[in-house]
Amino acid sequence: MTQETIGILALQGNVAEHGYVLDQLGVPHRKVRLPRDLEGLSGLILPGGESTTMSKLMVFNELEDPLREALRGGLPAYGTCAGMILLADEVLDTRPDAVSLGAIDITVRRNAFGRQVDSFETDLDIPQLAIGGDQPPVHAAFIRAPWVERVGDDVEVLARVPESAGETAGTVVGVRQGSAMVTSFHPESTGETRLHEFFLRELVGI
């Protein structure tokens, strides 16, 4: 499909699952753990997992500042769940020393949907994914997921919790700003490839 290389932040979390999706799409990829791993990338995926653990390892590996600079320089990025937390401008209910890369002008609440036992799946309508006609909804898995409480003026909302979801209906769970996008849910865990395809097509340009 392409010779462009996508990085996957490989400090902790769903690294293999994102790699499998990219393999399905025929996109070369490599793991990113150290600053040198950022060289030559066309885009970066920040997976779901434990955001505080990722923060600690990012600092330990001296990756925080080089990654922040790469994002400021326009490196396209897609964050899922913990990746949303890392890419947000502001995070609520997290540790004071947690890394905030500030790639998207949003306020995110960590673990907003509850603990592991509160994990759930639902279908989301994401019109931006449609190409040449209607698309079936995205089946989304939320696992100790964050949500978006504030959206900046230049941020495009991609997904909200459906009206059938009760008290969380309408909650923002996917956004895009410039060369970065994030989702609260895990498309890599449900066999869904359209979010990755959208990222590659619209943000990376391949």
Closest CA to 156 of 198, 190, 189: 198
Contacts of 69 (CB under 8 A, 6+ apart): none
What is the tally of helices (H) and strands (E) in the chain? 5, 12
Amino acid at 185: F
pLDDT the model gives residue 135: 78
Catalytic one of 29, 186, 192, 196: 186
Alpha carbon distances (Å) from 3 to 43, 49, 51, 179: 12, 28, 30, 20
* Separation between Cα atoms, residue 177 and residue 55, nearest integer Å: 22
Concatenate the DSSP letters of all residues of 155-180 into one string: PEEEEE--GGGGGGTT-EEEEEETTE
Identify the residue whose tokens are 């989304």. 140
- 163 included as an active-site residue: no
pLDDT the model gives residue 133: 65
- 188 included as an active-site residue: yes
Q: Residue 51, annotated ligand binder?
A: yes
* H or E stretch at 53: helix 51-60
The helix/strand/coil state of 105 is strand
Catalytic one of 188, 192, 197, 202: 188
Catalytic one of 18, 29, 64, 81: 81
- 202 included as an active-site residue: no
Q: Residue 110, annotated ligand binder?
A: yes
pLDDT the model gives residue 117: 46
Q: What is the pLDDT along the chain (206 residues), one digit of tens a residue?
A: 447 899 999 999 999 999 999 999 999 999 999 999 999 999 999 999 999 999 999 999 999 999 999 999 999 999 999 999 999 999 998 888 889 999 999 999 988 876 654 567 888 989 898 776 677 889 888 888 899 999 999 999 999 988 776 677 789 999 999 999 999 999 998 889 999 999 999 999 98
